Structures are given as C-alpha cells and as structure tokens.
Amino acid sequence: MATIVLVHGIAQEQAAADCLEAQWLPGLAGGVRNHGDNELADRLWRNGLPGDISTRMAFYGNQFLAKGAQGGGPGDLDDEQLALMEQLAEQWLATAAEHASDHRDRATAQRLIAVPPPDAKPQGAKAALRPALNALVRLRWFAPFGVGLAEKFVVRALSQVTRYFTDADIREYAQQQVLSHVGPDTRLIVAHSLGSVVAYEALHRVDQEVTLVTMGSPLGLRTVIYDRLRPQPSTVPKSVTSWHNLVDRDDLVAAHLDLAPYFPPYPGAAVTPVTEEPLDNGASPHDSTHYLTKAVTGGIVAKALAG
C-alpha cells in the first residue's frame, strides 16, 4: 500500500515500475519544491533517493509486450479494433485542426481532414487505419524528428489505447495494478495520459478517499474514450474528494481543457473536476515530468498530503 500512487500513460512497454518511479519521483519532489515546501520535497526525494513517504508506480506497460500485443503495429488487430484506432486518430487530427498553436500544424490538419494524403489507401486490414494515421504523422507535433519516428509513436499510442478498451484482460490487469497499491494510507493518485483512464475506472472500485490528479488526460474524448468508460453514466468516482486536472494548451492528446462538463458529481456528493490554468510545458507539451515539476502541481500534492 502507498501514500501516493502514480499511474503512467502510453508507450511505456519497455520500462518497469522501478524505472518509472525513479523518473517520476524527482519531478514530483521538484514540483513541491517549486511550490515552496522544501521539507515535504525532501520527504519525497533527496540526494537521488526516495524519502519516507511511500510512493509506488502502478505499472501495466508490460501487457503491451505480450505475444500478440506488441504495441508497435496494427497487424494483428481485428476490424473492430482498427475502426477504433481510426476514430481516435480522427479525433486527434480534429483537435489539431482546431487547437494546435503551431499555425503550420493547424493548417496542415485542416487541409488533411478535407483531403487525405494520396498514399492513404492501402489494401487489406490496415485500410481503415491509414487515412488518419498518414495525416497525423505529417504534423510537427507528432514528428519533430521525422515522419518515421512519428508513425511508430502514433501507431503504438493508438494501438495501446485500443487494446485497453477492447481486451478485457489488459483492462483488468491495468486497474488491478492501481488497486493493489491503494489502502488506508493512500492520499493521492497522480495519473498521466492513458493512465488517467485506468485510474478513473479503478477508483470507482475503492472506498478509500483520495485526491486525484490527472495530467494530459484524454478522458473527455467523446465516442472513442468517454463513451467507453465504466461505469456509465460517467461521474466523479465516489472515493475522490478532490480532482485536479492539469493540461497544456498544446497537449493534443488531452483534447479538452475542461473536464467538468463531462463528469458531474457522484450522486449525493459535490466534487467536480477542477481544471487549473493551462500550463506551458515548452516543446514537450505531453511530457509527464513537465507536468510534475510545475509549482501548481506541487501545491496540489502538498495540500493532499497535509489533509
């Protein structure tokens, strides 16, 4: 059981819980220190070592390395999964067309929505995926180092989100990793990207009162994610006493800045998601560490642990 439970997002299949804890903890402590609470920061991480506050990473990335679930391509997905990947890619593209701060990306997305790239018509099972994928990898947001790397990232991200919602074993395993660390001493859940979906669903299954922090969360993506959440209708989990949503305005994965319209209070409660002022994560708007190190994040952590 842990005081703080961390939940990672997509593209972590080559990592492990210990590795990610070693990456996230300095960022978490840094945010608290930037907030001005040096004593609490030292209790989280100091001189390259964890402090006395128990913090654990709920790790599920290994499920995407299992045979038939490599997370690197759509070759073994069925038609339903490919269709879901296509819908998600289309929503990311639509978000870029409306919200991308890079005017070139915004113009490119708008153009490609109207006219898909000419090589977006392959034969066979992958045909449903290619139009939106080929468009996404042409955006600078996804391809700062070239189209080849962008395609690997986008396909991996799309396939992992798809597998979570269509593979009952992966979905249950991921939630169990969260539930295994939640106990009477748990005060705070910090979840990034797809991890915010895992944490949200898992917290409907616990009674322990916690503060929830979501970072770069796609929970507000209608049809692809929001409409597939369990349980339905979607509400703030009963166990959540405070929900803080952190988003960079340029984080295209997050898509929606305000989650409050999507998640009403649990019946009889009054808690709603509070989206803080949009953050500036620089050139890596979806990076988990950049979210963690912000002073506003540190203030939320300090308040949750003090409570």
Burial 129-156 (b: 16+ CB within 10 A, else e): bbbbbbbbbbbebbbeeeeeebbebbbb
Tens digits of per-residue pLDDT, 43-57? 999 988 999 999 999
* CA nearest neighbour of 216 among 208, 225, 207: 225
Cα–Cα distance for residue pair 278/258, rounded to 1 Å: 10
**Among candidate residues 71, 64, 60, the one with its CA nearest the CA of residue 179:** 60
From CA 42, how far away is CA 48, in angstroms rounded?
Answer: 10
pLDDT exceeds 80 at position 96: no
Arch. (CATH architecture) of 4-63+168-306: 3-Layer(aba) Sandwich (3.40)
- 255: pLDDT strictly greater than 60: yes
Residue with tokens 């593979």: 167
End-to-end CA distance of the chain, in Å?
Answer: 18
Which stretch, 137-146, 181-190, 218-227, 246-255, has highest mean pLDDT? 181-190
Residue intervals in the chain for CATH 3.40.50:
4-63+168-306
Is pLDDT above 80 for 106? no
What pLDDT does residue 217 have?
96
For 274, phi and psi rounded to 5 degrees? -110, 115
Of the listed ranges 5-14, 147-156, 182-191, 275-284, the one predicted with least confidence: 147-156
Output the CA–CA distances (angstroms, integers) from residue 170 to 22, 61, 162, 208, 281, in the order listed. Answer: 24, 10, 11, 24, 30
Q: From the DSSP assignment, how many helices (H) and strands (E) are in the chain?
A: 10, 8
Give the pLDDT band of residue 116 (cuts 50, 70, 90).
low
Q: What is the pLDDT of residue 72?
A: 45
Residue 42: the pLDDT is 97
Q: Are the C-beta atoms of residues 63 and 173 closer than 8 Å to each other? A: yes
Distance CA 81, CA 128 (A): 10
Q: What is the pLDDT of residue 130?
A: 66
Mean pLDDT, the chain, whole residue set: 86
Q: Which two tokens stand for residue 68?
A: 């038939």
pTM for the structure as a whole: 0.88
Residue 303: what pLDDT? 97
**pLDDT attached to residue 9:** 95
Per-residue confidence at 169, pLDDT binned at 50, 70, 90?
A: very high
pLDDT at 81 > cutoff 60: yes
Whether pLDDT at 266 is above 60: yes
Q: Does pLDDT of 66 surpass 80?
A: no
Which residue(s) pair with 215 in the sheet? 192, 246
